[in-house]
Structure 1
Amino acid sequence: MIRAVLFDLDDTLLSLNLAGFIARYVAGASRLLASAARVSAVSLGVPYARSFLALERAGRTDAVTNEKLFNQTFYEATGIPLSDPVIRDLIDCYEREVVPGFSDGIVRARPQRGNREAVEATWSAGLVCGLATNPTFSLACDRARMGWAGLYEEDFAAISTFSNSTRCKPCARYYQEFADRLGVRVEECLMVGNDATRDFARPDCGLRTAYVGHGRPGRAVWHGTICELAGALPDLVARLNERDARR
């Protein structure tokens, strides 16, 4: 029985150039850290890339949060301790005060048409609504992107961040952790996303996915746009629940 709907953020509820956002974020953060550590900002680009890649490395066996692994990887490459209170305050301020202004230019952020209707349809159907964005950024960065989408923290019962997750999509452990946070089983969740790789759990853990991207993946239980999902959600959930009842 479906009890929760998990929404991806980037290119699902929010249209944006994600690569452009990451590039702009890293450029600004690198300038701040370079000034504090008295190193070249250019020299921090590769360590940032390695740290992001470490989070999504296949075969991870560690039990640490994505934030801790990111910080460890970055420190090993640069000697800069991102967890130091002074450095942390610097980055926190950057993410709160500067990053929200990144929506224009190369980032090209704007709400996906129908995103709020889809979120409201979830709550109206008596389902729990979660924001299951790939947890490679802080809550402050998630808040900035939610704001560009015209959505807010209170629209969701839980939001995945690199501070509360130990894996990234499509790892089944990520989805299981998120379902636990919502108080439901992963097989009681419907994932809504646009990425044919990341928004389908691996290995299969019982998660069903409604696909709002291009193409028609055979694993999807529904295909369409996020705008169409609001109207389709009650029938889709009823169909999935009937299928579960017959098992």
Structure 2
Amino acid sequence: MIQAVLFDLDDTLLSLNLTAFLARYINGASGLLARASGKLRVNIMTAYARAWLAAEGEKRRDRMTNQQLINSIIYKQCGIPLDDPVIADMIDCYERTVVPRMGSGIVRAEPKEGAREAVDAVWGMGLTCALATNPVVSMECDRARMAWAGFTEDDFALVSCAENSTRAKPWADYYEEFCGKLGLSPSECLMVGNDAKRDFAHPECGLRTVYVGHAKPTRALWAGQMSELASALPAIIEKANSEE
């Protein structure tokens, strides 16, 4: 029986130019770190990109959180200890005060039509609602993007981020870890997302996906627009439960 619905954030609940946002984030963070350390900004930017790719790696065997892995790679690449209290405070201040202002212009951040109604519908059906966003950035970055979408942490039972996750999408280990924190198995959850690759667990682990993107993935339990999801949700849940 379905007990929880997990939502992706970027281009699912929130419309934005994700590439532009990540570029702005890296540019700003790298500039701060360059001024503090004397290292070249371009080298720090490259280290961030490599660290994020490593966090998403399929062949990871470590048990570090994604944030710990990112910190270790940036330290190896640039000699900058992101977990040093002074540097950590600087990045935290940047993420709390600067990142929330990055949603305008080329980033074009705005709520997806029907997103609030879909989240409210999940809670209204007595199900648990959680935010399973790809966990390669911090909770502060998640909070900023949630706010752009019109949400807060209080709207979700759990939010994934780099600090509380040891794997990333689309790997089954990530989904199993996330569902486990809710006290559930993947087969008791539905994933809602727009990414035909990342929002479908690989390899399959029992998690079914409701697709709200522009492709037509054959694995989707249901495919449509976010604006249609709230009204379709009861039938989707009934279908998922009937297939067990």
Q: Shared topology, TM-score over 0.5?
A: yes
1:95 partner letter? E
Matched, 1:144 2:147: no
Give the Cα–Cα distance (whole angstroms) in 2 for the partners of residues 217 and 229 of structure 1: 17
* Aligned residue pair count: 244
Q: Is 1:87 aligned to 2:87, yes or no?
A: yes
Output the amino acid matched with 1:229.
L
Q: How far did residue 132 of structure 1 move?
A: 0.1
* Paired letter, 1:38: G
Q: In structure 1, what is the equivalent of residue 22 of structure 2?
A: 22
Residue matched to 1:162: 162
Question: Which residues of structure 1 form unaligned runs of 5+?
Answer: none
Greater displacement, 15-24 / 33-42: 33-42
**Could you tell me how far 1:38 is from its partner in structure 2?**
1.6
Post-superposition shift, 1:145? 0.2
Give, in angstroms, the shift of residue 215 of structure 1.
1.7
Aligned twin of 1:58: 58
CA RMSD of aligned residues (A): 0.7
In the alignment, structure 1 residue 11 sits paired with structure 2 residue 11: yes
1:40 to 2:29 alignment: no
TM-score by length of 1: 0.97
Distance of 1:226 and 1:113 partners within structure 2 = 7
User: For the residues of structure 2 that align with 1:13 and 1:79, how far apart are their CA atoms?
Assistant: 37
- For 2:50 and 2:199, the matched residues in 1 are separated by 23
Moved over 6 A (4+): none
Equivalent in the alignment of 1:49: 49
Q: What letter is aligned with 2:44?
A: L
Point out where structure 2 has 5 or more consecutive residues left out of the alignment.
Answer: none
Please give the per-residue CA displacement for 1:71-97, whole angstroms capped at 9, x wherever unaligned.
Answer: 001100000000101000000000001
Cα-to-partner distance string for 1:120-146 (whole Å, 9 max, x where unaligned):
000001100000000001110000000
Q: What is the alpha-carbon distance in structure 2 between the residues aligned to residue 27 and residue 215 of structure 1?
A: 31
Secondary structure at the counterpart of residue 98 of structure 2: helix
Q: CA deviation at 1:48?
A: 1.1
Given the alignment of the two structures, is residue 214 of structure 1 paired with residue 219 of structure 2, yes or no?
Answer: no
Deviation at 1:40, TM superposition (A): 2.5
Residues of 2 paired with 1:114 and 1:195: CA distance? Answer: 18
State the one-letter code of the partner of 2:41. Answer: A
Q: Match for 1:27: what amino acid?
A: N
In structure 2, the residue matched to 1:104 is 104
- The AA in structure 1 aligned to 2:151 is L
CA contact (8 A) 2:39 2:78 kept: no
